[in-house]
């Protein structure tokens, strides 16, 4: 049984709260939020205790693990505090929007040897897990080309955009992580270009809503990612991996399995209306992995270092959007022992 404190009681915090409450091996102890009323309401709904005292949330006598789902600008500080207390930490991405600050706190956490995981939840999508299994089993030979699509139904509010770090750091970063995870390789070079086709006001924030990214992996394998903020047809993710002997694809997911036949057309169920309907189960699966790792005293994955490395790609991609040319990806060096990226093969 793992005792958890949840930091953050907003939308994503409430998602985590539901999963914490439902997990048979979790004792959902505390909820903390800067808005205590919000914490109290969430805690009550799930039989946890709201606390206004961070010391209590990080008290290793009462808590085994913290789940950081607070606002982005607090992640690093919470992570540092969790490390100080020797707690296990499950941290929403990003560790910090500032890569240097993120790198510092990860280095600090590493010296404390805590169990820590960045919540790149899409790795825990059942189709993506199966795709990864197929790749790792060698069923398609060497990875040569990966295509990923991430397409949201509507542009987020501009006040969200303002603090998001931009499309690469906010949206595409999940797919930088997936590309690394699937290939087991760190991109060496990135080219990104984008436009503001859905919302011209994004330009005022130096952001884009429609972009394509090309990554080069050290083997010469290539990665294409397209990211859009407004589709008109729902939330759309797709991955396809071309190998030397075959192809594996995680197809677009439909909401149902009903087909209607009329003259000249067949009408099927469409895609999910939004990202959350599509990826909701992945949060529970990620938590299951994290708890199982703690129970078995194993290192969970993706690691904090995976978080830094995906951010490093996002940094280079963001730079490329502005520079208009290819940018190298620079990772902080050297890798701490035991923090090698999680590779499939």
Give whole-number Cα distances, 294 to 79, 89, 287, 291, in Å. 17, 10, 11, 5
Alpha-carbon gap, residue 200 to 310, rounded angstroms: 27
Query: Chain centroid to CA 28: how far?
Result: 23
Helix (H, G, I), strand (E, B) or coil at 238: strand
Residue 296 or 325: the one with the smaller Cβ distance to a copy of itself is 325
Residue 274 or 336: the one with the smaller Cβ distance to a copy of itself is 274
Residue 198 or 335: the one with the smaller Cβ distance to a copy of itself is 198
How many residues touch a copy of itself under the rule CB under 8 A: the total is 74
Q: Point out which residues pair with 91 in neighbouring strands.
A: 68, 118
Q: Scan residues 262-321 and list those touching a copy of itself (CB under 8 A).
A: 262-271, 273
In the bound complex, what is the minimum distance in angstroms from residue 340's beta carbon to a copy of itself? 25
Residue 36 or 252: the one with the smaller Cβ distance to a copy of itself is 252
Residue 34 or 212: the one with the smaller Cβ distance to a copy of itself is 212
User: Pattern 213-242, binding to a copy of itself, x per CB under 8 A?
Assistant: -x-x--xxxx-x-x-x-xxxxx-x-----x
Residue 52 or 267: the one with the smaller Cβ distance to a copy of itself is 267
Residues 129-157: b if buried by 16+ CB within 10 A, e if exposed: eebbebbeeeebeebbebbbbbbbbebbe
In the bound complex, what is the minimum distance in angstroms from residue 220's beta carbon to a copy of itself? 3
In the bound complex, what is the minimum distance in angstroms from residue 130's beta carbon to a copy of itself? 5
Q: Scan residues 155-214 and list those touching a copy of itself (CB under 8 A).
A: 189, 191, 193-198, 210-212, 214
Contact criterion met (CB below 8 Å) for 38 and 6: no
User: Pattern 12-51, binding to a copy of itself, x per CB under 8 A?
Assistant: ----------x-----------------------------
Q: Using CB under 8 A, which of 1, 158, 247, 292 touches a copy of itself?
A: 247
Query: Chain centroid to CA 61: how far?
Result: 30
In the bound complex, what is the minimum distance in angstroms from residue 177's beta carbon to a copy of itself? 19
What's the token pair of residue 193? 């270009």
Q: Using CB under 8 A, which of 78, 122, 151, 309 touches a copy of itself?
A: 151
Query: At a CB cut-off of 8 Å and minimum separation 6, what does 99 contact?
Result: 308, 311, 312, 315
Alpha-carbon gap, residue 27 to 49, rounded angstroms: 11
Alpha-carbon gap, residue 122 to 159, rounded angstroms: 25
User: Pattern 109-138, binding to a copy of itself, x per CB under 8 A?
Assistant: -----------------xx--xx--x----
Contact criterion met (CB below 8 Å) for 42 and 9: yes
What's the token pair of residue 157? 């509010």
Q: Scan residues 56-115 and list those touching a copy of itself (CB under 8 A).
A: none
């Amino acid at each position: 049984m793992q005792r958890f404190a949840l930091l953050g009681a907003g939308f994503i915090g409430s998602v985590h709260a539901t999963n914490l409450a439902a997990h048979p091996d979790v004792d959902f102890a505390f909820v903390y939020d800067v808005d205590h009323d919000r914490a109290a309401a969430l805690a009550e709904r799930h039989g946890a205790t709201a606390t206004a005292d961070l010391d209590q949330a990080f008290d290793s006598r009462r808590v085994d693990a913290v789940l950081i789902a607070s606002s982005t600008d607090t992640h690093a500080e919470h992570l540092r505090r969790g490390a100080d207390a020797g707690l296990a930490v499950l941290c929403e991405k990003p560790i910090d929007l500032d890569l240097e600050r993120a790198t510092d706190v990860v280095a600090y956490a590493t010296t404390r040897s805590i169990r820590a995981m960045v919540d790149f939840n899409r790795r825990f999508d059942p189709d993506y897990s199966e795709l990864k299994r197929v790749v790792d089993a060698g069923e398609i030979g060497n990875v040569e080309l990966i295509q990923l699509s991430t397409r949201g139904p509507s542009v987020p509010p501009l006040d969200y955009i303002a603090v998001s770090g931009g499309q690469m750091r906010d949206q595409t970063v999940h797919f930088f992580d997936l590309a690394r995870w699937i290939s087991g390789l760190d991109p060496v070079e990135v080219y990104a270009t984008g436009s503001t086709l859905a919302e011209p006001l994004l330009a005022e924030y130096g952001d884009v809503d429609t972009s394509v990214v090309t990554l080069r992996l050290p083997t010469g394998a290539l990665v294409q990612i397209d990211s859009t903020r407004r589709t008109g047809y729902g939330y759309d993710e797709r991955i396809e991996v071309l190998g030397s002997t075959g192809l594996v694809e995680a197809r677009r997911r439909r909401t149902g399995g009903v087909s209607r036949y009329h003259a000249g057309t067949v009408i099927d169920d469409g895609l999910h209306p939004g990202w959350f309907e599509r990826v909701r189960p992945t949060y529970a699966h990620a938590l299951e992995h994290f708890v199982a790792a703690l129970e078995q005293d194993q290192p969970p994955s993706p690691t904090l270092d995976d978080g830094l490395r995906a951010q490093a790609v996002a940094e280079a991609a963001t730079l490329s959007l502005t520079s208009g040319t290819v940018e190298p990806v620079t990772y902080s060096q050297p890798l701490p022992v035991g923090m090698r990226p999680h590779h499939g093969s």
